[in-house]
């Protein structure tokens, strides 16, 4: 395995060292000027790569589709117009299905670009524009299985997609609009306000309250904490289940008569309701030695407590999957 990894690295390095970057830039410029759809076509493994490149471009703001050469010859070519670009991917540049299709695409007026590893192939000569993807050798011992050429095709397509993102100034918000479902979408769309506990469900008490008087609230609210505020609703501190255990160990039965101002963590971490829930999770885990399981949510204008967000709810939302056994301690510490 080590030998094969080294060989593959060598072949990929050869690709980077000898690639015609100017030719790649010309393809990028053509893509940016395209008023229609960019189609990708290939056969076999190159067809799978074509599908991957097309979907990556689509998800990052460029209209792209996969075109099956066989289906195109049986009616699907009707979708192509003179405003479109058709990218044909082939290691050899001698793929019969692609070569057969080219004259008909030319008749439709579309621009044809070839991505091949054989600069002297018929496909290069038949296309309006082409880029050679330098291939020293397939990793396969018989130099047959496309174990390296398909990787090079994928690399070229991915770099091209990212270049399109940068050129179009494709933002994180744009990306979120194209990925509304799944963990990626949730990480960049789900806000603290979507998951936080708010209103009467927030366990709030005063710094002058005795622990014995607020224990019922700590238990009934089932949030794993008490949020201590002043008369204006501004955060003064937080007291968690973990703080309760430590206080009982330190003070024994006398802890019940202690004031919450004496027991609370006076410099807790907090977050704004309009921040991403993903950022809330990162704040909770910012101190790996003392991760916390609950975070006060403060109004951005007044600084008043408007809710709390719990790690449990973040995990339940599907935003992230963590090993909740790594810390059962919900102690808040200064950020």
Q: What is residue 325's predicted lDDT score, i.e. its pLDDT? A: 39
- Nearest CA to 5 out of 148, 150, 159, 158 is that of 148
Q: What is residue 315's predicted lDDT score, i.e. its pLDDT? A: 87
Cβ atoms of 225 and 203 closer than 8 Å: yes
> Which of helix, strand or coil describes residue 238?
strand
Strand residues in 17-157 grouped as ranges (E): 38-42, 64-66, 85-90, 111-116, 129-132
Q: What is residue 181's predicted lDDT score, i.e. its pLDDT? A: 65
Phi-psi region of 114 (alpha: psi -120 to 50; beta: other; left: phi over 0): beta
Task: Inform me whether the pLDDT recorded for 324 exceeds 70.
Answer: no
Residue 11, CA distances (Å) to 15, 149, 323 in order: 6, 9, 39
Cβ atoms of 94 and 122 closer than 8 Å: yes
**Interval 194-237: pLDDT, tens:** 999 999 999 999 999 999 999 999 999 989 999 999 999 999 99
User: How many helices (H) and strands (E) would you count in the chain?
Assistant: 15, 11
Least confident span in 55-64, 252-261, 323-332 = 323-332
Q: Are strands 197-198 and 111-116 parallel, antiparallel or unpaired?
A: unpaired
- The domains found in the chain, sorted by start residue, are 2-170 (3.40.50.10490), 192-326 (3.10.580.10)
Cβ atoms of 218 and 226 closer than 8 Å: yes
Please give the Cα distance from 291 to 240 (Å, whole number): 13
């Amino acid at each position: 395995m080590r030998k094969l990894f080294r060989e593959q690295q060598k072949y990929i390095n050869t690709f980077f060292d000898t690639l015609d970057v100017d030719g790649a830039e010309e393809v990028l410029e053509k893509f940016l000027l395209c008023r229609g759809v960019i189609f990708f076509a290939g056969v076999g493994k190159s067809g799978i790569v074509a599908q991957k490149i097309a979907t990556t471009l689509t998800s990052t703001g460029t209209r792209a589709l996969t075109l099956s050469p066989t289906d195109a010859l049986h009616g699907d070519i009707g979708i192509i117009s003179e405003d479109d670009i058709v990218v044909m991917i082939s290691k050899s540049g001698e793929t019969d299905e692609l070569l057969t299709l080219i004259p008909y695409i030319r008749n439709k007026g579309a621009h044809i670009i070839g991505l091949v590893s054989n600069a002297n192939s018929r496909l290069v000569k038949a296309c309006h524009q082409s880029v050679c993807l330098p291939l020293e050798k397939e990793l396969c011992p018989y130099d047959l299985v496309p174990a390296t050429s398909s990787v090079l095709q994928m690399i070229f397509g991915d770099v091209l997609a990212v270049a399109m993102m940068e050129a179009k100034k494709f933002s994180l918000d744009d990306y979120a609009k194209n990925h509304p479902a799944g963990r990626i979408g949730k990480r960049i769309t789900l806000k603290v306000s979507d998951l936080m506990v708010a209103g009467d469900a927030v366990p709030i008490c005063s710094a002058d309250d005795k622990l014995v008087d607020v224990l019922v609230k700590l238990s009934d609210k089932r949030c794993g904490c008490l949020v201590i505020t002043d008369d204006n609703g501004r955060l003064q501190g937080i007291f968690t289940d973990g703080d309760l255990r430590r206080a009982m160990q330190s003070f024994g039965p006398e802890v019940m008569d202690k004031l919450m101002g004496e027991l609370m963590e006076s410099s807790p971490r907090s977050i704004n309701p309009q921040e991403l829930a993903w950022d809330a999770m990162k704040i909770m885990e910012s101190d790996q030695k003392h991760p916390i399981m609950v975070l006060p949510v403060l109004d951005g204008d007044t600084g008043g407590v408007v809710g709390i967000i719990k790690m449990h709810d973040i995990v339940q939302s599907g935003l992230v999957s963590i090993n909740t056994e790594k810390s059962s301690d919900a102690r808040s510490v200064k950020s």
